[in-house]
């Protein structure tokens, strides 16, 4: 189900998304669920327990993808949620389950992520309706073309009675595989800081400028980049990345006059992240001053960490141990719909191992034994949650 033959690409409200809706709608109806699509394009199904007191668990993940994606990021969590409904039916639990296939999480088409979950969490900004995709189509027009009314997005907000939200997702990293583990309970979604630094020196002839008289911006940036790596390696749980470098004039026989470098710093504890960023800023300023360079910096993002709900996470942890699996608690280094939903309702996440640590890649995979483990964990989790709300 893709926009591009031979590769998986599903952008927000593309024709491929309608195919996914049709497939999932059929699966939901076969489980006796009430199904509708809200004005933000989220497909929603409600399984109503006959013994329910009006309380329900909300589950879901996203069905959009990055270009040339793997088959499991996001949508696996939706399909596993359907299986958890099947388990709840078999157990005749007094707990209803609502599943949401979020329309947009990746931010590919309109440059803004979490459109679907923002609407459900009551955090949709109407100014987003004016955003345009690469073809000049506005978000409002895309919603109308899909047969929906953007004026009703407010009605997508989560109704009362939800006891929590659970997202099942592949890890998208190598940690679980490196420890030979199938699943993990997510403790938090890390906070993130993004900045751009520009080291400004003086371009000059590579053959005639002595080393002691150079104001080499690239050498300064290289010295600083080494400190970025060293600082991250010295701090448990911290990741820091310089992923983009722009050199001017970028010629082999010219001393580089200016260099722009990106910085991405993430950690589950905001104070640790902020302290690391502060040190790296000091390092950059010190290097620039010693080399007689100017330094400019611009902050693009300062996203706080989002902790998962301790009670629901403890239920997941107990469920993992109850089925005989080793318990792993870990933060998520990537953003998920769960971080948006956590502002609205108690939220937890269950990770599945990512073979090869791959994601956002055609070779993205998942092991059947890990999917089976997620269903066994789901059974124990649902039993515990239902017992708590009786």
% of the chain at pLDDT higher than 70: 100
**Pair of tokens at residue 234:** 């010295």
Q: SS3 for the chain, per residue?
A: CCCECCEECCCCCCHHHHHHHHHHHHHHHHCCCEEEECCCCCEEEEECCCCCCCCEEEEEEECCCCCCECCCCCHHHHHHHHHHHHHHHHHCCCCEEEEEEECCCCCCCCCCCCHHHHHHCCCCCHHHHHCECCCCCEHHHHHHHCCCCHHHHHHHCCCCCEEEEEEEEECCCCHHHHCCCCEEEEEEECEEEEEEEEEECCCEECCCCCHHHCCCHHHHHHHHHHHHHHHHHCCCCCEEECCCEEEECCCCCEECCEEEEEEEEEECCHHHHHHHHHHHHHHHHHHHHHCCCEEEEEEEEEECCEECCHHHHHHHHHHHHHCCCCCCEEEECCCCHHHHHCCCCCEEEEEECCHHHCCCCCCCCCCHHHHHHHHHHHHHHHHHHHHHHC
Q: What is the mean pLDDT of residues 146-158?
A: 98
pLDDT-based confidence at residue 390 (cuts at 50, 70, 90): confident
Q: Is the pLDDT of residue 163 over 90?
A: yes
Name the average pLDDT for the chain.
97
Looking only at the bridges linking them, the beta strands covering 258-267 and 245-248 are antiparallel
Phi, psi for residue 217 in degrees, rounded to 5:
-70, -35
For residue 259, give the nearest of 300, 292, 216, 223 by alpha carbon. Answer: 216
Distance CA 259, CA 293 (A): 11
Distance CA 2, CA 98 (A): 26
Phi, psi for residue 98 in degrees, rounded to 5:
-105, 130
Distance CA 114, CA 342 (A): 13
Q: Is the pLDDT of residue 53 over 80?
A: no
pLDDT in tens, 109-123: 999 999 999 999 999
pLDDT of residue 139: 98
Q: Is the pLDDT of residue 90 over 90?
A: yes
CATH classification code of 15-189+305-389: 3.40.630.10
For residue 20, give the nearest of 34, 5, 1 by alpha carbon. Answer: 1
Distance CA 64, CA 3 (A): 11
**Fold for domain 192-303?**
Alpha-Beta Plaits (3.30.70)
pLDDT-based confidence at residue 389 (cuts at 50, 70, 90): confident
Whole-model pTM over 0.85 = yes
Q: What are the structural domain ranges in the chain? A: 15-189+305-389, 192-303
Cα dihedral 245, 250, 252, 254, rounded to 10, equals -120
pLDDT of residue 50: 87
pLDDT of residue 238: 97
pLDDT in tens, 245-299: 999 999 999 999 999 999 999 999 999 999 999 999 999 999 999 999 999 999 9
Q: Is the pLDDT of residue 52 over 70?
A: no
pLDDT-based confidence at residue 42 (cuts at 50, 70, 90): very high
For residue 341, give the nearest of 71, 55, 62 by alpha carbon. Answer: 62
CB 56 within 8 A of CB 165: no
pLDDT of residue 96: 96
- The dihedral of CA 176, 332, 237, 266: what is its sign? positive
CB 177 within 8 A of CB 352: no
pLDDT in tens, 342-379: 999 999 999 999 999 999 999 999 999 999 999 999 99
Q: Is the pLDDT of residue 28 over 90?
A: yes
């Amino acid at each position: 189900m893709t926009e591009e033959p031979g590769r998986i690409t599903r952008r927000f409200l593309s024709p491929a998304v309608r195919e996914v809706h049709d497939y999932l709608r059929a699966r939901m109806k076969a489980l006796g669920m009430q199904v509708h699509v809200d004005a933000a394009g989220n497909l929603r199904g409600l399984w109503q327990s006959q013994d329910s007191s009006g309380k329900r668990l909300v589950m879901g993940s996203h069905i959009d993808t990055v270009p040339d994606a793997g088959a499991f990021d996001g949508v696996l969590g939706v399909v596993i949620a359907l299986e958890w409904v099947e388990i709840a039916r078999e157990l005749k639990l007094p707990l209803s389950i609502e599943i949401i296939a979020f329309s947009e999480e990746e931010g590919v088409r309109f440059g803004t992520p979490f459109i679907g979950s923002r609407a459900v969490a009551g955090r949709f900004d109407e100014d987003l309706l004016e955003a345009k995709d690469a073809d000049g189509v506005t978000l409002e027009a895309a919603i109308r073309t899909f047969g929906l009314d953007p004026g009703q997005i407010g009605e997508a907000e989560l109704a009362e009675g939800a006891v929590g939200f659970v997202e099942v997702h592949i890890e998208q990293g190598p940690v679980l595989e490196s420890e030979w583990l199938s699943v993990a309970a997510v403790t938090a979604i890390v906070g993130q800081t993004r900045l751009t630094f520009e080291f400004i020196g003086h371009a000059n002839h590579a053959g005639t400028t002595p080393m002691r008289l150079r104001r080499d911006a690239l050498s300064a940036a290289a010295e600083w980049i080494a400190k970025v790596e060293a600082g991250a390696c010295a701090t448990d749980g911290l990741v820091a990345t310089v992923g983009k470098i722009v050199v001017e004039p970028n010629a082999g026989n010219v001393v580089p006059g200016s260099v722009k470098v990106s910085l991405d710093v993430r950690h589950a504890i905001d104070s640790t992240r902020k302290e690391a960023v502060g040190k790296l800023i000091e390092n950059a300023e010190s290097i620039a001053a010693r080399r007689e360079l100017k330094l400019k910096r611009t902050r693009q993002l300062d996203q706080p960490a989002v902790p998962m709900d301790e009670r629901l996470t403890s239920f997941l942890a107990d469920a993992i141990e109850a089925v005989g699996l080793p318990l792993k608690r870990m933060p998520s280094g990537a953003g998920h719909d769960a971080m948006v939903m956590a502002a609205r309702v108690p939220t937890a996440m269950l990770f599945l191992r990512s073979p090869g640590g791959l994601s956002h890649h055609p070779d993205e995979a998942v092991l059947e034994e890990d999917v089976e483990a997620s269903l066994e964990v789901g059974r124990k989790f649902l039993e515990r949650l239902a017992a708590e709300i009786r």
